[in-house]
Amino acid sequence: MYSLIPHIVNGLTLGLLFALIALGFTLIVGVMEVINLAHGAFFALGAYFALATIGGSWFAGTEFGIWWSSLSPGARYASGLIFGPLCAAGAGMILELCLRPTYGKAPLYGLLLTFGAALVIEELIRLVWGTGEQSLSVPQAINGAFLMGGLIFSKYKFYAAAFSILAIFLVWLFLEKTPYGAIIKAGSHDSEMVRALGFDLGKLRLAVFAFGAALAGLAGVIMAPIWGLRPHIGIDVVIPAFLIIVVGGVGSFWGAVAAAMLVGLAVGITGAYAAAWSMLSMYILLILVVGFRARGLFGRKSALEN
């Protein structure tokens, strides 16, 4: 039982990161009623742009590049942490503009368009950063391992978990305690009424898409040092994300967080007994949950069921 603790810690960390990805996903699903299959691509874009920022290879040789490489790794990492998600948000806004013709049609078209977009972004990543696996370096302070109770833990995983908790808390605060959050929540409840009250639905959708994509990008920057970076990481990530949304129930904030923890734990604990099969456990979890509760753990009725 004692030896299981690192696996549980791993699982919880994974779950928190999954929650971060899934929150952006559920926001977009809630407000736009679009299953955004390109969400994983935003995750990848965030991570790759952070990689470019931290490495600074794009402006190597210029004066700015020399000044940039003289900065401390910590400062460069921090700017990557900001710039990566911002770029993902930009890509998200472009995608939202492309999605406009599909509003009011069957949800299938949004799904298909974002699938195509995911393919395009993945190919663009291949074009710009190459097909090989890359790694994102982190500052010394959060690198390495430490001992606790006779067990070795990676420092970075604790940092990632703490960062995710903070981010989830901030998102919750934003949604619950600010007027902007109120509009977003109202938009996911009844977008027609929001428009009738005089809010610009177009801007709201653009903002929500940017926000959701930024969350995915942020998760990408945090996750990249653990998982490594490859062009098809988007597909690897988008599946757990919407699996979590379905298990948690579409449009439910705490449903997504709870399901993400559940999925993380399932993957972590299966990893202890049968490492090769760990990723399969989440599909089985999905089939079990949805087999018995059609709308997931905390789901409400959604237009997407039609």
In the complex, the residues that contact other proteins under the rule CB under 8 A are 35, 98, 101-102, 105-109, 111-113, 115-117, 119-120, 123-124, 126-127, 232, 235, 239, 242-243, 246, 250, 276-277, 279-280, 283-284, 286-287, 290-291, 294, 302, 304-306
Q: 96 vs 159, which CB is nearer to other proteins? A: 96
Amino acid identity, position 253: F
Q: 74 vs 116, which CB is nearer to other proteins? A: 116
Q: 47 vs 250, which CB is nearer to other proteins? A: 250
The distance of closest approach from Cβ of residue 117 to other proteins in the complex, given in angstroms and rounded to an integer, is 6
Contact 159, 177 (CB under 8 A): no
d(CA 32, CA 103): 8
Residue of 202, 201, 285, 188 whose CA lies nearest to 246: 285
d(CA 278, CA 270): 5
* Phi, psi (rounded to 5 degrees) for 130: 80, 170
The distance of closest approach from Cβ of residue 305 to other proteins in the complex, given in angstroms and rounded to an integer, is 5
The distance of closest approach from Cβ of residue 40 to other proteins in the complex, given in angstroms and rounded to an integer, is 11
The distance of closest approach from Cβ of residue 194 to other proteins in the complex, given in angstroms and rounded to an integer, is 21
Residue of 84, 46, 43, 107 whose CA lies nearest to 238: 43
Cα dihedral 298, 11, 163, 240 sign: negative
The distance of closest approach from Cβ of residue 80 to other proteins in the complex, given in angstroms and rounded to an integer, is 26
Q: 233 vs 250, which CB is nearer to other proteins? A: 250
Within 8 A by CB and 6+ apart from 228, the residues are: 133, 134, 135
Q: 76 vs 295, which CB is nearer to other proteins? A: 295
Contact 183, 59 (CB under 8 A): no
Q: 4 vs 274, which CB is nearer to other proteins? A: 274
Q: DSSP code of 134?
A: B
The distance of closest approach from Cβ of residue 107 to other proteins in the complex, given in angstroms and rounded to an integer, is 6
